[in-house]
Amino acid sequence: MIHKPRISMHAATPPCTRTHQIGALLLVISTFFLTRLLDQSLPATYPVNLDRRTSFPGSLSLKIYVYYESEIDGLYSLLYGRDGNIDGNHCLKGQWGTQVKIHRLFLESRYRTMKKEEADLFFVPAYVKCVRMMGGLNDKEINQTYVKVLSQMPYFRRSGGRDHIFVFPSGAGAHLFKSWATYINRSIILTPEGDRTDKRDTSAFDTWKDIIIPGNVDDGMTKYGDTIVQPLPLLKRKYLANFLGRAQGKVARLQLIELAKQYPDKLESPELKLKGPDKLGRAEYFEHLRNAKFCLAPRGESSWTLRFYESFFVECVPVILSDQVELPFQNVIDYAQISIKWPSTRIGPRLLEYLESISDKEIAEMITRGKQIRCFWVYAPESQPCSATQGILWELQKKVRQFHQSAETFWLHNGSIVNRNLVEFANWKPPLPLP
């Protein structure tokens, strides 16, 4: 056997000269600056998809028309009351704040169009929850005004309302509009409320067309930098869990108040007052909320509760005690990694025993994951890459229909849209007949 001489790789490699070293250094520097440039040109991303199975799309192709308050008779009243004396700025706080915030954000949106004929979706602004609470309209007036407004919208008639967006921000959901089931049952409803059957036989939420939105957390807690209250380290928290709310005669809430009397060193659950000297101020409320590792969120008049969203900003783990609750953006957020859902029928010592069995390390990990996604509870401008605004726009993108059809819409061979009397869409005159 003839053995070929082995070739030394080291001998074959040319020596590393100063020229090679300078070239390598320039390559590293250029790669660094190119990476920085790409980082600045691409939108920032947030780890909203904690299990990495799905994600929101990277870009949107929406066109949303926002009705002007003065273009339709009656719309101004839905925003500012019968006398026009309700200040929209006063409606920014509390549960009803999302009606104002979403309207203002859509007015400034890059996806807003001024042309109805090119719009994919139509936004109908109204602050009716606030207006009703402040005496600007009563229930009967709200109902009559909505019907009056809808009868003047040819595009609403064209699609049967399928491409029109309404916001109902409180536990009452779309029931604020008494005749919602007759007139806007096909429309897209933005609401934090997925279940309103405790006092009614019918829920206004439809899983397939409506969108669950986050509750309106106090701006003083969601802003970047200094907030009105800072979270406490886990080791400095006095309680294992807390529930801070009114009993409202609800079984789960009453059970928690009684449980706190049995285990006062583990559970804080005073019944909060709406007024009087014992009412907690804004900062006091959050100071109490932050003093537990777990924040309990039972249902009240309806299935959702603002405490679920508030807990992320005081950095306690939310424990959902509301069996029918619907949560926002479930297609990208794995709630099992950032919260606990416990049967509302099993409230008692066993719940506290279970929470006590969870280590501080596991609690800290859940809190860390919750901090990564809480930006989706903040109604910030869409220039922020992570916000409730972005989440809602992504959800709306999926609702866009290429073709608008209703039981009262017909079309001809040349593409003309006509009504039952064969009148072309461009010639439809308000008021229009509604269902």
| pLDDT, mean of residues 162-182 | 92
| pLDDT, mean of residues 410-425 | 94
Over 80: is that where the pLDDT of 195 sits?
no
| pLDDT, mean of residues 307-319 | 97
Task: Report the alpha-carbon distance of residue 429 to residue 56 in Å, rounded.
Answer: 40
* Average pLDDT along the chain: 86
Each residue of 237-271: pLDDT tens digit?
999 999 998 888 889 999 999 999 999 999 999 87
Each residue of 43-98: pLDDT tens digit?
333 344 444 434 555 678 999 999 999 999 999 999 999 999 999 999 998 888 99
Residue spans per domain, the chain: 64-216, 219-378
- What confidence category does residue 16 fall into, taking pLDDT thresholds of 50, 70 and 90? low
| pLDDT, mean of residues 225-245 | 93
In CATH, 219-378 is 3.40.50.720: no
Over 90: is that where the pLDDT of 399 sits?
yes
Percent of the chain with pLDDT over 90: 68
Amino acid 18: pLDDT = 58
Amino acid 21: pLDDT = 54
User: What are the CA-CA distances from residue 33 to residues 24, 26, 159, 199, 317 (Å)?
Assistant: 15, 11, 51, 61, 40
CA 213 to chain centroid, in Å, comes to 3
Residue whose entry in the numeric block shows the structure tokens 């619907």: 326
| pLDDT, mean of residues 363-381 | 96
Over 60: is that where the pLDDT of 128 sits?
yes
Task: Report the alpha-carbon distance of residue 155 to residue 165 in Å, rounded.
Answer: 12
Identify residue 349 by its one-letter amino acid code: P
Q: Identify the bridge partners of residue 123 per DSSP, sorted by sequence position.
A: 66, 165
Amino acid 270: pLDDT = 87
Amino acid 39: pLDDT = 37
Residue 150's CB is within 10 A of a number of other CB atoms, namely 25
DSSP string, 134-145: TTSS-HHHHHHH
